[in-house]
């Protein structure tokens, strides 16, 4: 697949990202329109979780790699929405009383608080199922490309991805070193960042060397994102974070192991490594750097 046409209007990166995010929000709403037999309670639970205020970093990653800021590129939009559905399903499950027992997520009560545990679980299953349905419906892409996308996404979800990360997190990480914590962070967060980037590379048809650089970029960005999230857990209020804080008490994280100052330094190092990898991808770097600056603040701008 050829690269998307350049943006002749030279839209400023921040404005382009805002348009892209708006397009993603519209597609998410469209893709979870349910049929007449869907129970209202279940439909509302899915929409409560999926359409809540969110950064949408993962679907934006898919799209920026696949098509830049061409916010009318439907296959890239929908593939990104599929990733966001998987991510949201994982959050619903993570928040359950039997796991993290969270009360707030994305600036609103968690799904099980509003709709009950049983409906929350069913909403997560529905979102996982819909994600792969969306991939199957990407008719503008060849069957082989759709198969690759499904494999990349399923690999991020399964027992070598998010599921393993959550199991290890539940069992605790006492007495581990930074490398083992980053392995856990990879499973909890990094795998879906990398899947998002790889799916974008597959849609765009990047060469193997470019895809490796994209993967490295996403790996470091995922580690930085998880470290920043751990810092938020110990330094922000629930109102600032938009979710419960203090969830990591009793767990070994990069922050609890190294302290906040060294954790921030490690986050900056990952962001710097991500930027070096980005330079090797041949992709237009500024939209990615704007995205990083937007969500990492001074941590991002100091490293790029």
Q: How far apart are CA 129 and CA 125, in angstroms?
A: 6
Look up the domain containing 289 and give its range.
13-301
**Rounded to a whole number, what is the distance in angstroms from the first to the last CA of the chain?**
30
CATH number of the domain that residue 33 is part of: 1.10.600.10
pTM above 0.85, yes or no: yes
- Is position 5 within any domain? no
- Is position 229 within any domain? yes
Burial of 298 by CB count in 10 Å (0-12 exposed, 13-18 middle, 19+ buried)?
exposed
Task: Give me the helices (H) in 68-204, please.
Answer: 74-94, 111-115, 117-136, 143-157, 162-171, 178-185, 191-204
For residue 6, what are its two tokens?
């350049």
What's residue 250's pLDDT? 58
- Is position 173 within any domain? yes
> What secondary structure does DSSP assign to 288-302, as a single string?
HHHHHHHHHTHHHHT
| Look-up of token digits 């590379």 | 201
Find out whether 232 and 30 touch, Cβ atoms under 8 Å: no
- Is position 1 within any domain? no
- Is position 39 within any domain? yes
For residue 90, what are its two tokens?
């994982």
- Is position 4 within any domain? no
- Is position 2 within any domain? no
- Is position 6 within any domain? no
pLDDT by residue for the chain (304 residues), tens only, comes to 334 434 444 556 788 899 999 999 999 999 999 878 999 999 999 999 999 999 999 999 999 999 987 878 999 999 999 999 999 999 999 999 999 899 999 889 999 999 999 999 999 999 999 999 999 999 999 999 999 999 999 999 988 899 998 888 888 755 578 888 888 888 988 999 999 999 999 999 999 999 999 999 999 999 999 898 888 877 655 555 556 555 555 567 788 888 889 999 999 999 999 999 999 999 999 999 999 998 887 554 343 3
- Based on the structure, what is the number of domains in the chain? 1
164: left (phi over 0), alpha (psi -120 to 50) or beta: alpha
How far is CA 31 from its chain centroid? 18
């Amino acid at each position: 697949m050829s690269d998307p046409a350049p943006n002749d209007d030279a839209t400023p990166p921040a404005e382009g990202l805002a348009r892209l995010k708006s397009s993603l929000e519209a597609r998410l709403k469209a893709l979870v329109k349910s049929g007449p037999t869907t129970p209202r309670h279940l439909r509302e639970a899915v929409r409560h979780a999926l359409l809540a205020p969110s950064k949408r970093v993962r679907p934006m990653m898919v799209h920026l790699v696949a098509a830049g800021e061409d916010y009318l590129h439907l296959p890239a939009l929908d593939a990104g929405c599929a990733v966001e559905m998987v991510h949201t399903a994982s959050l619903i499950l993570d928040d359950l009383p039997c796991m993290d027992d969270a009360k707030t997520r994305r600036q609103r009560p968690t799904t099980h608080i509003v709709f009950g545990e049983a409906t929350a679980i069913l909403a997560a299953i529905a979102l996982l199922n819909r994600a792969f349905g969306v991939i199957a419906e990407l008719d503008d892409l060849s069957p082989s490309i759709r198969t690759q996308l499904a494999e990349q996404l399923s690999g991020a979800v399964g027992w070598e991805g998010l599921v393993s990360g959550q199991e290890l997190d539940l069992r605790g990480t006492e007495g581990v070193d930074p490398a083992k914590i980053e392995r856990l962070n990879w499973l909890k967060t990094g795998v879906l960042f990398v899947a998002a980037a790889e799916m974008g590379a597959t849609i765009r048809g990047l060469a193997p060397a470019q895809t490796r650089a994209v993967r490295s970029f996403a790996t470091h960005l995922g580690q930085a994102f998880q470290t920043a999230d751990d810092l938020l857990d110990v330094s922000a209020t629930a109102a600032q974070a938009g979710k419960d804080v203090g969830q990591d008490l009793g767990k070994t994280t990069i922050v609890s192991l190294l302290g906040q100052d060294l954790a921030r330094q490690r986050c900056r190092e990952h962001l710097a490594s991500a930027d070096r990898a980005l330079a090797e991808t041949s992709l237009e770097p500024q939209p990615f750097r704007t995205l990083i600056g937007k969500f990492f603040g001074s941590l991002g701008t100091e490293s790029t």
